Structure formats: C-alpha cells, structure tokens
Amino acid sequence: MGHQRNASDVGLQKTRAWAGLAVVVLGDAAITLAAIWGVHNADGAAATAILTSAFTAVSTMTTAYFGIRAATNTAQAHAQAQADQAVARASGPATGQNRENPPGHTAEGAAEGEPSGDHPRSPPGRA
C-alpha cells in the first residue's frame, strides 16, 4: 500500500517538466537562428567558429536539462520510497515487523554481524 500523490502535485510536476522543456527548445531555436544568421554573414573560419560554438551551446543546454530532470525524478522516487517505508514501519506488527526488534537486530539489541557484548573488542588501533 503506497502513499498516493495528490492530483495537484502530479499536475505541478507535469507543468514544470513541460515548461522546462519549452524553455530548452526555445533556447535551442534561438541559438540555432543566431548561428544561421552569423554563418550567413561570416567568412569560412568565422563560420566554423560560430557553428562550433552554437553546437556546444545547444548540446550543453539540452544535456543539462535532461540531466537535471533525471536527477529530480530519481530524488522524488527515493523520497516516495522513504515515505512508504515510514508508513510501513509505523503500522508495526501488522506488516510483520516488531518495533522492539526491527529486522537486522538480535534479541540482545546488537545488529547482525556486530559484537553482542560477549566478546571483548580490541582497543582502537590494534587488529
């Protein structure tokens, strides 16, 4: 049973995604038009520099948009998963978990793989 996002959150995210994409597409178009105008009014060496710069600007802006979009989607999915886990933990024994002894802990309270106090630890700095 996952936490459902409300319709306004989903609508807001869609609006942000489309607005961001529109800004990138319009920016790419502006750079392309400026490059076409510049190439038309330039000689060979200058035209090459203009085309190289325009390609770099378009590819950088487009890549940045999709990189940020992917990172945002990943962060939102991670936050949603944490919220779902918190809800599952709060429901306690109904989900098969025991609040006194969560998974990964022994009855003595030490996590699995950690000393339970039965064995003395070596002092720091010694193996």
Quick one: pLDDT at residue 104? 60
At 102, give phi and psi (nearest 5°): -65, 160
Q: Is residue 118 part of a domain?
A: no
Q: Is residue 78 part of a domain?
A: yes
Q: Is residue 64 part of a domain?
A: yes
Cα dist from 16 to 13, 28, 50, 69, 116, whole Å: 5, 18, 32, 10, 51
Name beta bridge partners: 111.
Answer: 105
Quick one: pLDDT at residue 1? 47
Structural domains counted in the chain: 1
Q: Is residue 104 part of a domain?
A: no
Dihedral (Cα; 23, 25, 31, 33), 10-degree rounding: -120
Q: How many CA atoms lie within 13 A of 27 on its CB side?
A: 17
Q: Is residue 12 part of a domain?
A: yes
Query: Rounded to the nearest 5 degrees, what angle is found at the Cα of 119, between the Cα atoms of 118 and 122?
Result: 150
Query: Rounded to the nearest 5 degrees, what angle is found at the Cα of 51, between the Cα atoms of 46 and 53?
Result: 95
More confident residue, 2 or 49: 49
Predicted TM-score of the model (pTM): 0.58
Residue 33 scores a pLDDT above 60 = yes
Question: Which residues, including other chains, have CB under 8 Å from residue 88's CB and lie 6 or more apart?
Answer: 95, 97
Per-residue confidence band for 96, with pLDDT thresholds at 50, 70 and 90: low
Per-residue confidence band for 118, with pLDDT thresholds at 50, 70 and 90: low
- Residue 49: in which H helix or E strand, if any? helix 44-90
Quick one: pLDDT at residue 13? 85
> What's the DSSP call for residue 96?
T
Quick one: pLDDT at residue 124? 60
The domain in which residue 57 lies consists of 7-94
Residue 62 scores a pLDDT above 90 = yes
Q: Report the candidate in 36, 56, 58, 57 with the shortest Cα–Cα distance to residue 47.
A: 36
Q: Is residue 45 part of a domain?
A: yes
